[in-house]
A and B are shown apart, each in its own frame.
Chain A
Amino acid sequence: MQSFQNGFPQALKNGLLNTIPYAIAIIIGTILVPMLLPILPFRAFSMKGLVLGVIWSVVVIKYSNVFYYDNNIVLNISNSLLLTSIISFLALNFTGSTTFTSLSGVKKETLIAVPVIATSALVGVVLMIIGNFL
């Protein structure tokens, strides 16, 4: 909440810096995932996305000051959950674009992955709100 004490322009600047990891997460999910598809571990696409999501979350936590995050544990968990959910969900959406996935396989993956991704995103949002008031 420090940003608001320093006036609106500062809050805007911090807010923009805060969104950079999310913009990069979208780039990772849409460009890096398909590029690395053959070398990422796991068969399920959402799990491949999870791998990159966890790696990106670790980088964001390490450089949290660059992106203007308060380095508190609740915000770190929240950002990690949200970033990983975004990348994992985007990765899941590439199942329709390959020559080796099947409808039955995607149905099975979707049935498991989507509720997990939705729950982590929801928990991430709640923790983000709590973390900003700490």
Chain B
Amino acid sequence: MEYIRNVAKIEINSDKCTGCGLCINVCPHGVISMDDKVAFLANKDRCIECGACDNNCPVDAIEVETGVGCAYAIIKSWFNSSKTNCC
């Protein structure tokens, strides 16, 4: 199943990428693929912003804004400027 399109906040810096493939191994949704030894976002809309790729990249080539998509926490944060961490 896929969620809202064109919103995932994830970038791969191809200049930094060494093509080790770790991000591909850890991504639970098959978002990343390899092209000519450089990782790229093949299915960006499937990204759930879990941050596993970012955490495992040895050269810090991936930037992703992580968090749990909890609507209740988001609504709560509107009123008390708390973080949008889940319940």
Contact surface of A with B, Cβ cutoff 8 Å: 37-38, 43-45, 92-93, 95-96, 98-110, 114
Contact = CB atoms under 8 A, between A and B. Distances in A.
Given A103-B69, A107-B74, 11 more contacts: A43-B4, A93-B71, A93-B72, A96-B73, A100-B1, A100-B46, A100-B48, A101-B69, A102-B47, A102-B48, A105-B69
Contact of B7 (A38, A92, A104): A104
Given A100-B46, A107-B74, A95 B69 contact: yes
B2 interface: yes
Contacts of B63: none
B56 interface: no
Contacts of B84: 103, 107
Contacts of B55: none
Contacts, number: 76
Interface in B48-78: 48-49, 65-75
Interface of B: 1-5, 7-9, 28-29, 46-49, 65-75, 84, 86-87
Contact of B68 (A45, A93, A103): A103
A114 B47 CA distance: 24
A86 to B, nearest CB: 15
A103 B71 contact: no
A113 B15 CA distance: 39
- The residue among B49, B66, B68, B69 with the most chain A CB atoms within 10 A of its own CB is B69
Contacts of A105: 3-4, 7-8, 69
Contacts of B75: 110, 114
A108 B7 contact: yes
A104 B5 CA distance: 10
